[in-house]
Structure 1
């Protein structure tokens, strides 16, 4: 179902575990309530991926409570994914002791904050394929498997910069 980003039902749908295609400050993503194991597994099937996913934290307090983070957290919201040692364990990070977290500089982040749950964030493309900046470029095979699609037109970003802070020295994973 296509909806506008101003639809007041979105936070409730997030809580319920609906699977979304949604806009960020970088590219289109696919995501769901990270605490809903069934929905996370649906995304794994859609993406054909067993890799750990990152999450959009509902707020910085959640990130501080669940991750070992530092002053770089002040850069959020923004086009960054930070990898931290984490206490959070779920289907999202599949037994890893780390978790990628971000808060995009986009209106959709405020809807996640209203839902008060962490939200899976991963690019909407299949693993290994090109990133997607417009809903019209998403294959029907993906569109047909999600519950909610939020189309805000073409996004003029690039994938988030990924920085790993889980070890003693930070490591840039993706520029």
Structure 2
């Protein structure tokens, strides 16, 4: 397992992008908290994250490579459009999925809705260049405290990811969940 800084990610950008596209599991910073992710179109990689977190039933959200990805793969209403204007930001938008093949089947088991993020962070540039959605879930075992520093990262998770992109301690809080059609905003 390799720990990379922002500078190292930029220096080895093509290699990092290839690893992500090919199913690597990795920890990365966002505009909220550290996440653990993989290519959301890779069913085996998604299954590994489910196993690692001990999270078998709940759907995962994804960070999308672009706003256009949302428009191509989700149902867009006037309400949705008004929320898209607020991105990037610390929101997870729950949207109706119109293209079930946009992500692996095990990302959102019911495949009717999906949580999407478009983050306000330098790492968004890497995701955009990957041109695939990535799983976004807190870097912790299900039910445990999320990672704020590499010092409190669960050892099992640390030992089972391919790389960590680390930019120091992060005392942020998880994104707000926005169910667009129900007009509900949930703090976590």
**Any unmatched runs of 5+ in structure 1?**
none
Please give the alpha-carbon distance, in whole angstroms, between the structure 2 residues aligned to 1:136 and 1:105.
Answer: 25
Q: Name the counterpart of 2:82.
A: 71
1:88: how far off? Answer: 3.8
1:141: how far off? Answer: 1.2
Whether the 8 Å contact between 2:141 and 2:154 is mirrored in structure 1 is no
Whether the 8 Å contact between 1:163 and 1:174 is mirrored in structure 2 is no
Superposition RMSD in Å:
1.3
Whether the 8 Å contact between 1:25 and 1:106 is mirrored in structure 2 is yes
More deviation, 72-81/1-10: 1-10
Please give the alpha-carbon distance, in whole angstroms, between the structure 2 residues aligned to 1:10 and 1:76.
Answer: 25
Q: Name the counterpart of 2:164.
A: 149
CA offsets 1:90-122 (integer angstroms, 9 cap, x no match): 221112300000011111111010010011000
- Are residues 1:4 and 2:10 paired? no
- Look up the SS of the partner of 2:123 in the other structure: helix
- Are residues 1:52 and 2:59 paired? yes
- Look up the SS of the partner of 1:30 in the other structure: strand
**Any unmatched runs of 5+ in structure 2?**
none
- Are residues 1:117 and 2:132 paired? yes
- Look up the SS of the partner of 2:172 in the other structure: coil
Q: Name the counterpart of 2:91.
A: 80
What's the TM-score, normalizing by structure 1?
0.93
More deviation, 127-136/15-24: 127-136
| Equivalent in 24, 33, 37 of residue 27 of structure 1 | 33
Q: Which has the higher helix share?
A: 2
More deviation, 14-23/127-136: 127-136
1:152: how far off? Answer: 0.6
1:23: how far off? Answer: 0.6
Cα pair distance change 1:48/1:88, threshold 3 Å: farther
What's the TM-score, normalizing by structure 2?
0.87
| Equivalent in 116, 132, 136 of residue 147 of structure 2 | 132
